[in-house]
A and B are shown apart, each in its own frame.
Chain A
């Protein structure tokens, strides 16, 4: 298992250091960076490697000269990395309309970075609007045509079906990994390992990732079962959690992380794309209706997010929820008071942490310890 886990080193999230990016380029195959909920299946079906841009937590060096500081560290770190040449191996960057920050990040990259091409997909934020599906379907069709022009090759329904299958398999394997961590009385592998694997999976070719994940799951299942843990079980909620040492910190403070609803975690894989019917219709449907992030503003979306968190808390038998929100993340901040008060009314204790790039363990340790003690 150690071998497989090594493939998930955080350094892989840099396109310059990722071994698969290097391999694909040696084989003259293109690599496209993407943000957020871009339908990566279409990129893969086009024969290109989709590489989610995850940024890093290092202090910023040059972003300030191109992008104001009113945005989250995640977005600014991407501008920083781009300016410093980390995206030199990317053939393009595909962006999508999710939160305001992502839209501005897309614009900042398009105007400041020397990357061969940039593309923007418009995505509705209200899946209750009757015309939204048709509009998004047109945008997805337009994106497919863009990729066909870019590669000079048609994207067939068969290649789309294969790509969707590969990503769906990734989703089921990650779900299995989460089950091995969070469904039993004791996690069969550490919280940090599971979150790191989910995080780094976003920069792996899906077919290779299937092999790696399957290998890890096999190894874990072969291990002898540990004794049941009495440590308080924690669910992490938030957007991009870049500094996964927070998970380790929770565990050092006496808790165990059993689940999350991070966009760099569970929200990546909770649902499957429908493999019947028209693939582009299925992708439109999936990306509009998947477990919502707060960038969506459909009627009842906050209530749905609350229900999703409660369902996950019950499913993974979490004792409490820790919100890890990025500073300047308006999208998540707007939902927070409602979620916090409703979770407390449900009898679910809540701790609210703000992160800004790298976490400050000294600042967070006391609060985490106090919270975990309450849960014990």
Chain B
């Protein structure tokens, strides 16, 4: 039993270097205790520069669950959460983590030895309201100090670069409370120099990945989703650490070289696609499936538009981090998503858009219909809807998905 899934086939050399980075990341989290550092389980949209500056060792349950999906081991953990009473319609990142939290001994060995036991739980609520409920469940289980703060959703009368001041003030105030919380538990005061340095490296990594995204506008596209989604690991998990900037420096060189030589993923690139939603981590090979039609995903909302990267000013670390925390793809209105997507579609010369229906992430999937309608109406771009959960493979119907892609691509041709 088990859904048919496929590994991604990658074009870039740099992507191979992700694996040692991931392995090292998990190894270091297990070493934290020996170095007298506290492990904090955090959300992937949190102001991670603060963690580096305050000597915390962050581990990310969402990323852990994505990795379990990629390693094909998330299904039994998810099933265990359902057996414990959680609906199958709830987030599979949560269900996977829950399974490993309470039943690790009866589940496959997790990647990197799994997440080191948390000393603290921290979360910025800046996308969905199910993550804080998940964090409260973990708080009750681990009984460790927990800090949750909110970055309010940006309504349709504002934009990311035009947010009411009381929103940002609210976020900054809570972040400073978070600093006090961390200081209390580590016994160490925040060193503002270290924070500025972390913000410097976070900004550097952000600037570099922005350049990489720009290069994907080239024809033929030097870098498809199959490489890009894996290459996101440093900006998500290690932003603020020098290693992330170093990685993207190297990646930028390789991508620049490919563009200079006119080397695309597809020598006969014909159709440029946009793909929406969280990658189905257990079958990243789905991105490669489009290649047989000389089609390639050149931009994704999960990479190009998400804002894992944010330009920041090291001299204004709290304000910068507040902006970075509040202004991601899942915290903006449909109107702003639509404006952003139309620009992406024009800039990247998109021929077709794929929207994934991912029941685990309603805040992602919710805007599907609006965005698909908008692309069709404003730019005449045809759209395709496919069902694929982010990390639970059990309902993924590979054959059906591919049939639908075949029909769509025939129509595009």
Contacts and interface: CB of A to CB of B under 8 A. Distances in A.
A107 B366 contact: yes
B142 interface: no
B377 to A, nearest CB: 12
Given A100-B128, A120-B155, A337-B84, A297 B363 contact: no
Interface string A39-76: 00000000000000000000000001111101100000
B362 A330 contact: yes
Given A131-B170, A327-B89, A328-B359, 6 more contacts: A97-B153, A100-B366, A124-B150, A126-B150, A328-B89, A328-B362
Interface string A246-258: 0000000000000
Interface stretch (A20-28, A110-118, A148-156, A178-186): A110-118
Given A297-B148, A335-B133, A337-B86, A71 B362 contact: yes
A133 to B, nearest CB: 11
Contacts of A70: 89, 357, 359, 362, 365-366
Contact of A334 (B90, B167, B338, B368): B90
A130 interface: yes
Nearest to B359: A70
17 contacts: A67-B370, A70-B365, A71-B366, A108-B334, A108-B370, A120-B155, A126-B150, A129-B150, A130-B177, A135-B166, A142-B164, A327-B89, A330-B89, A333-B90, A337-B85, A337-B86, A341-B85
A298 to B, nearest CB: 9
B170 A135 contact: yes
A289 interface: no
Nearest to A302: B136
B87 interface: yes
B42 interface: no
Contacts of B86: 333-334, 336-337
Contacts of A214: none
A272 to B, nearest CB: 27
For chain A, which range describes its interface: under 10, 10 to 19, 20 to 34, or 35 or more residues?
A: 35 or more
Please list the 7 inter-chain residue pairs (A to B) with the smallest Cβ-Cβ separation, ordered nearest first: A337-B85, A297-B132, A104-B366, A120-B155, A107-B334, A334-B133, A333-B87
Given A100-B128, A101-B362, A104-B363, A131 B156 contact: no
Contacts of B368: 68
Contacts of B367: 104, 107
B136 A301 contact: yes
A40 B214 CA distance: 47
A297 B156 contact: no
Interface string B149-173: 1101101110000001011001001
Contact of B133 (A64, A112, A130, A294): A294
Contacts, number: 148
A87 B140 CA distance: 44
Contacts of B130: 100, 330-331, 334
Given A70-B357, A334-B133, A104 B362 contact: yes
Nearest to B170: A135
Interface residues of B, number: 51
A244 interface: no
Interface in B96-140: 125, 128-130, 132-137, 139-140
Contacts of A132: 150, 170
Contacts of A138: 166
Interface of B: 84-87, 89-91, 94, 125, 128-130, 132-137, 139-140, 146, 148-150, 152-153, 155-157, 164, 166-167, 170, 173-174, 177, 333-335, 338, 357, 359, 362-363, 365-370, 373
A333 B366 CA distance: 18
A125 B370 contact: no
A216 to B, nearest CB: 37
A66 B369 contact: yes
Contacts of B137: 334, 338
Contacts of B156: 107, 110, 118, 120
A32 B173 CA distance: 34
A297 B122 CA distance: 13
Contacts of A330: 87, 89-91, 130, 133, 362
Contacts of A80: none
Nearest to A104: B366
A230 interface: no
Given A70-B366, A111-B334, A336 B133 contact: no
B332 to A, nearest CB: 10
A336 to B, nearest CB: 6
B185 to A, nearest CB: 15
Contacts of B146: 299
B31 to A, nearest CB: 30
A205 B293 CA distance: 61
Nearest to B150: A124
Nearest to A99: B129
A172 to B, nearest CB: 31
Contacts of A112: 370
Instruction: Count chain B CB atoms within 10 A of each CB in A70, A139, A302 and give the residue with the most.
Output: A70
Contacts of B366: 67-68, 70-71, 100, 104, 107-108
Interface string A319-354: 000000001101101111110110000000000000
A122 interface: yes
Contact of A68 (B133, B136, B177, B365): B365
B316 to A, nearest CB: 19
Given A131-B170, A131-B173, A135-B166, A122 B153 contact: yes
Contacts of B128: 100
Instruction: Count chain B CB atoms within 10 A of each CB in A122, A129, A334 and give the residue with the most.
Output: A334
A340 B135 CA distance: 19
A101 B365 CA distance: 11
A76 to B, nearest CB: 11
Nearest to A107: B334
A295 interface: yes
Contacts of A129: 149-150, 174, 177
A66 to B, nearest CB: 6
A193 interface: no
Contacts of B362: 70-71, 100-101, 104, 328, 330
Given A125-B125, A126-B148, A103 B132 contact: no
A101 to B, nearest CB: 7
A89 B337 CA distance: 29
Contacts of B177: 129-131
Contact of B174 (A122, A131, A294, A337): A131
B307 to A, nearest CB: 18
A368 B388 CA distance: 35
B129 A100 contact: yes
B196 to A, nearest CB: 24
